A and B are shown apart, each in its own frame.
Chain A
């Protein structure tokens, strides 16, 4: 074997690291993929695919975000300006599709349309009632959603302008509008982008995901008027099909326990920094390592007690809006910021700041 091939073999022994630590040029990989043994071909293709992931991540890295001062909003809305627009993609992938329900319209009888309409309304009401926030941009931005996207589409996403919901395949997944916290999760991505621009990979991406889970869960808790100890702290309860061994997409209370299924695999979320997963998949594990800040929020909310959106949620929300929050913020930096925010809002020696500190400590992060 040549040195290059030998290097390849060592790299393949670390499947989640080879594309970062290996320096084989693409043409060597391509040659291996085309002319190597069956095993070399398979491994070279895996590496090329992972390298492609890294290139995609680099391409996705935005230019540095110029933060707008927190006091930018000169025009404070005196009243909420809720404006919802629900579209139907009719099984295609062209967005936004045809408008099927606008603000103030009566229910259509289409479950997905009406769930999206109601879910957006509940999310808007939560942000307005709990934090005085007027929609995604705090300036009354219309809430736009598309349902019936694609065929058997097992996903929901935020494309930076609107929410998109699939119907699910009816086997692994039900329709993605079924879970209020998932609707809230998608809309909260817009709030996070507006306030902090947390870059969507590695730790800042996992924080971005965690913020959406935190507010998604709080929206459900607020709507159901559940205290922290009464809440289920699940994300996407009811979304998994009946035949799936699992109860939700994620658990903030017990990360890593939401599902364990022959087809979906086992919930990979860690609850502690000692189990942090270094990976290039999933934009650097944004939906995996979000389990750590998710659990820190759960712990904090339980320590504070009562309605989680009132103090724990307020602390996280104000930390997200803090001008010092950088787009590439790490878990620890965000933890420090939440601790400082708790002190600013409720007193440095108060029980809330102590709860925040203890909450992060329980996931292995010291502030």
Chain B
């Protein structure tokens, strides 16, 4: 995953981050898989509102076995499934940074 946008562009923060669900507890892994499945099944995101600016967009390349899925979730995306996945990924990243 990588995050772009925001009020400024920081090259160091735009680098991709890899989250290996296999390193999570079985319960957390199952929760993340459910969130990913729900986000992938959600209706496509509409374009950002005209005039919106400085919002961030998180691009996800999800590899599962031989399958690869793509998702883009922006701060102005209000779909509850994608927002739930983004919030969970934020929690994971914060937990990773604390280790």
Contacts and interface: CB of A to CB of B under 8 A. Distances in A.
Given A208-B53, A264-B12, A155 B59 contact: no
A214 interface: no
A261 interface: yes
A209 B50 CA distance: 15
B66 interface: yes
**Interface secondary structure of A, over-half rule:** mixed
A35 B76 CA distance: 35
Interface in B1-32: 2, 4-14, 16
A190 B52 CA distance: 8
B81 interface: no
B9 A161 contact: no
B49 A282 contact: no
Interface in A231-274: 235-236, 249-250, 261-266, 268
A52 B59 contact: yes
A157 B2 contact: no
A250 B8 CA distance: 8
B68 interface: yes
Given A48-B70, A52-B59, A155 B9 contact: no
Interface string A59-73: 111100000000000
A158 B68 contact: no
B65 to A, nearest CB: 9
A193 interface: yes
Given A45-B61, A155-B75, A265-B12, A282 B4 contact: yes
Contacts of A158: 51-55
Contact of B90 (A33, A62, A151, A192): A151
Contacts of B70: 48-49, 52
Interface residues of A, number: 57
Contacts of B68: 30, 33-34, 45, 48
Contact of B49 (A150, A160, A285): A160
Interface string A272-297: 00000000011101011000000000
A154 B70 CA distance: 24
Interface string A155-167: 1111111001000
A264 B52 contact: no
A185 interface: yes
B34 interface: no
Contacts of A282: 4-5, 9, 14
A318 interface: no
Contact of A186 (B49, B54, B87): B54
B72 interface: yes
A263 B13 CA distance: 7
B61 A49 contact: yes
Interface of B: 2, 4-14, 16, 47-57, 59, 61, 63, 66-68, 70, 72, 74-76, 83, 86-87, 90-91, 94
9 nearest A-B residue pairs (beta carbon)? A193-B51, A265-B11, A265-B12, A160-B49, A157-B54, A249-B8, A287-B9, A160-B51, A189-B53
